[in-house]
Chains A and B, each alone.
Chain A
Amino acid sequence: MPERKIRVMVAKPGLDGHDRGARILARCFRDAGFEVIYTGCHQTPEQVAAAAIQEDVDLVGLSCLSGAHRVLFPRVVELLREKNASDIAVIGGGIIPEQDFQMLYDAGIQAIFTPGASLDSIVEWIRTHVRTGN
């Protein structure tokens, strides 16, 4: 059987217009052979969750540089759970202080990548962790 194509979504929730990092990641995922749905800036968690379900992605990568990650990231996970879509993995990145990591992990964010993380390490994490068999 042909292998499943990995589909990911890159989104920036909240009032943060700094999308250079998100764009670089989207492009890097494309070059890694993933299908990337790029939805841009200024989205509500509700929009992110709805789009993730409509697109049937394996994973949502959230980027936040504004400091609102403690509210926005968990909310996306919660909405996906409400819609029976908890199989969609959520990872986060951006300017996130280390003391917030545990809180985000507890809320269901599966991985956090901050400045300095290599693109390869993020691609590798996705390849290892997303469901591709079913």
Chain B
Amino acid sequence: MSGPETDGRGKHHDMTETTQKICAGDVRSASRLIRDLEDKRPEARRRLRQLFFHTGRSFIIGITGSPGAGKSTLTDALISELRKQQKTVGVLAVDPSSPFSGGALLGDRVRMLRHAEDTGVFIRSLATRGALGGLARAAGDAIHVMEAMGKDVILVETVGIGQQELDIIHHAHSIIVVLVPGMGDEIQTMKAGVMEIADVFVINKADRPGAKQLRTELASLLNASPHGPQDWIPPIVSIGNLYEPENFAKKTAELMDAVAKHHAHLITSGQLGERTERKAVMEITDALRACILEPVLERLIADGELTKIAKRIQRRETDPFTEAETIARRFLKTGETP
């Protein structure tokens, strides 16, 4: 492999065999790289750097909502809709890691079995590994890998969330919030957090009691929100019983249509630029954390220094801010690499 060369636009030409294979759509290499990124293998970061210049062309849809709301089943239905349109699809399905064992049971694929053999669909399960924002720590990286593979659309299914695990807003262009009836009164719909991030609402399991009431409350909330004539008002799609396949298919097609309309709105209104900028801010913030904070922490932990400082803080011999400033001066100003 040759050293990095740039063509003036910052693009690196040192593509390795692996990154070339990924750009050609090879599942094995892509899946391995995602795993290397999850496991923080040092060479993985370098590969992702090369791939970065092949990203940014996919449409990314986030699907979020409470546990058991039907996110995986809807993801499965959306895959079918997208495949009907001949679009290639990447799916990232996130489930929680155990805070005790570090293990995880990743069960979202169970709902998507029928797409397992379709070469136009790449489904990858991710465990959160301690991340608290509803996504996996490596979710952003995994999205980039799927983008580099050339997937037209990437569906990102979050863990079952509560009210404010909202990391998905930094990653997706359009966000589907899946609600189910019976989860509380109208005050719940007025609260900040998850209710604010939806570009499209789904009222799932709409054949159950309370669905109509939820729809009325949600619609009244949306109508009462201040909005200009050009603003996007999140549409509400009610989806009923999965076991009435004809109706279910009709409704999921309606959902896909609503998401496509939102995508078009993002482009015509210029909001797509705002969202991709928000994403870029998050990307550099994360990269700074990975390049500055994490190596410093790792070194302090390995040296046993962190424990010593913590003990002094515990005894009130010093305060955390003074210590942090001293450490920052040591690593940032001396040019010493941590």
In the bound complex, residues from chain A placing their C-beta under 8 Å from that of B117 are 44, 46-47, 50
Q: Flag if A56 contacts B98 (CB, 8 Å).
A: no
Instruction: Report the minimal beta-carbon distance from B150 to chain A, rounded to whole angstroms.
Output: 16
Contact in complex: B124, A38 (CB < 8 Å): no
Determine how close the nearest CB of chain A comes to the CB of B31; give it in whole angstroms.
4
Task: Assess the A38–B38 pair: CB atoms within 8 A.
Answer: no
Q: Among B1-9, B108-116, B151-159, B209-217, which stretch is in contact with chain A?
A: B108-116
Return chain A residues, CB-CB under 8 Å to B123. Answer: 51, 54
Nearest-neighbour CB distance to chain B for A131, whole angstroms, equals 12
User: Which range contains the number of A residues in contact with the other chain?
Assistant: 20 to 34
Which A residues are CB-close (under 8 A) to B101?
Answer: 30-33
Q: Is the interface of A mostly helix, strand, loop or mixed?
A: mixed
B35 located at the interface, meaning its Cβ lies under 8 Å from any Cβ of chain A in the complex: yes
Q: Give Cα A27–Cα B116 distance, bound, in whole angstroms.
A: 23
Whether B103 pairs with A29 at a CB distance below 8 angstroms is yes
Answer yes or no: B280 CB below 8 A from chain A CBs.
no
Least distance between B330 CB and chain A CB atoms (Å): 25
Residues of A contacting B42 in the complex (Cβ-Cβ under 8 angstroms): 1
Assess whether B102 is interfacial by the CB under 8 Å rule. Answer: yes
Is the CB–CB distance between B31 and A55 below 8 Å?
Answer: yes
**Interchain CB contact under 8 A, B35 and A37:** no
Expressed in whole angstroms, the Cα–Cα distance for A31 and B129 within the complex equals: 14
In the complex, what's the smallest C-beta–C-beta distance from A59 to chain B, in angstroms?
14
Q: How far is the CB of A45 from chain B (nearest CB, A)?
A: 11
Separation of A133 and B31 alpha carbons in the complex (Å): 17
